[in-house]
A = this chain, B = another copy of it.
Amino acid sequence: MIKNIGIITSGGDSPGMNAAIKTIVNYSNNNNINCYGIKYGYEGLIKGNFKKLSNFIVNNILSFGGTILGTSRSEKFKTKIGRKKAYNNIIKNKIDGLIVIGGDGTFTGAKKLYKEYKVPIIGIPGTIDNDIYGTDYTIGYDTSLNTIINNIEKIKDTAYSNNKLFIIEVMGKGLGFLALNSGISIGALDIFIPNNKKYNLKNIYNILKNWNINKYSNIIIVAENKKIGDSAKTIYKLIKQKFKNIDIRYNILGHVQRGGSPTYFDRILAINFGLESIKNLIKLKTNIVIGINNNKIIHIPFNESIKKKKKKFDKNIINIYDNIY
C-alpha cells in the first residue's frame, strides 16, 4: 500500500507544473498519504534532498510559473551509480512511488529506474515544446503559445510602423509545434521548421516579390534549431540577400517563452494530469505517462512516449497551413 510518495520536476520547467504539484499534494494529504517534494529533479533524488509537502505550502502555487521544486538536467542520473544512489534514498525515505513531471529525457530516466529497481513511477508530460509522443498536449505549451503571440503582437506594432519585415525565432527544439501553431495564430507570412521538409523557402521568395506592408503580414516565424539563434540568422541571410530593398530584422524571443503564470488551458491540463497520476499511483497502475488524446485522459507506456520524432502536427493545423500559406 502507498504510504509515502515523491514528486519530481525534471528537465526544462514549464508553466503549470505547480498546478500539477498542488493537485497531487492536496489529493495525497486528503487521503492520508505523505507527499515529499524532491528538489532540483533527479539531482535531489541522488542527493537525498527531500521536503515534506503540506497543503499549506502549496496553497498559493496554482498561478506560479516555473516549479517550486526546482528542476535540472542530471548527468549523474544517466549513470548506473547515480541511479543506485537515487534508489538508496528512495528506500531510506520509505518512498513507495514517484511522480515525475518533465519531458522525454525525464521519462527515459524514469524508465531505467523502474527497469533496474522496480520503483513504481508515473510520468506527467510537462514541457512547452509539446514534443511528447502519444499526448495531444503537454503542460506549458498553451501558456508558451500565448506568451509568443502577445510578444509578437508588440513586434507587429513596430514592424508595421517602420515598414519592416521581422523574422522571429521561437523555441521548440526544431520540431516546430510552437512555430507552426504560433505562426498561424498571428497570421505569419510564412513559417520555417528546420527538420520539416514541407516548409521550405520555395514560396516565400514568390510572396516577397510583391511584399507590401499594407497587404501582407510583417512576420516570418522560424523554429529554433540546435543552437539558439541559428535558424533566425540563416533565414535572415538567405532572404536579405535576395531582397535588398526590403528592410528586414530578426528577433529571438528566448527564455520569456518558458515562464509566466499558466493559462486556463495549462492549469486544467495540469490538474487533470496530476489527479490521474496520483489516483493511478495509489492503485499501483504505474510505469506509464499520463496523456490526453481527443479530450480523453489516457495512459502511455514509457517506451512509446519517448519516441518524440514521430509526433505529427494536428491535422487541422496542417489543413489551415495548406489552405492559407
Contact = CB atoms under 8 A, between A and B. Distances in A.
- Identify whether the interface residues of A are mostly helix, strand, loop, or mixed: helix
A184 B265 contact: no
Interface stretch (A61-69, A85-93, A104-112, A196-204): A61-69
A153 to B, nearest CB: 5
Contacts of A67: 161
B271 A157 contact: no
Given A142-B264, A186-B62, A163 B323 contact: no
Interface of A: 9, 12-13, 15, 22-23, 26-27, 40, 55-56, 59-60, 62-67, 70-72, 136, 142, 145-147, 149-151, 153-163, 166, 181-182, 184-187, 214-217, 249, 251-256, 258-261, 263-265, 267-268, 271-272, 275, 279, 294-297, 314, 316-317, 319-320, 323-324
B267 A70 contact: no
Contacts of A185: 62, 264, 267-268, 271
Contacts of A254: 155, 251-253
Contacts of A63: 149, 153, 156, 186
Contact of A258 (B40, B157, B264): B157
Given A255-B249, A294-B294, A295-B294, A22 B187 contact: yes
Given A151-B256, A214-B56, A271-B184, A264 B145 contact: yes
Nearest to A323: B275
Given A13-B157, A59-B217, 17 more contacts: A12-B158, A70-B162, A70-B163, A71-B162, A146-B146, A149-B267, A150-B261, A155-B256, A157-B259, A158-B259, A251-B256, A253-B256, A256-B256, A272-B316, A275-B320, A294-B295, A295-B295
A157 B158 CA distance: 22
A315 to B, nearest CB: 8
A65 B157 contact: yes
A214 B316 contact: no
Contact of A256 (B154, B259, B319): B154
A56 B268 CA distance: 32
A101 to B, nearest CB: 12
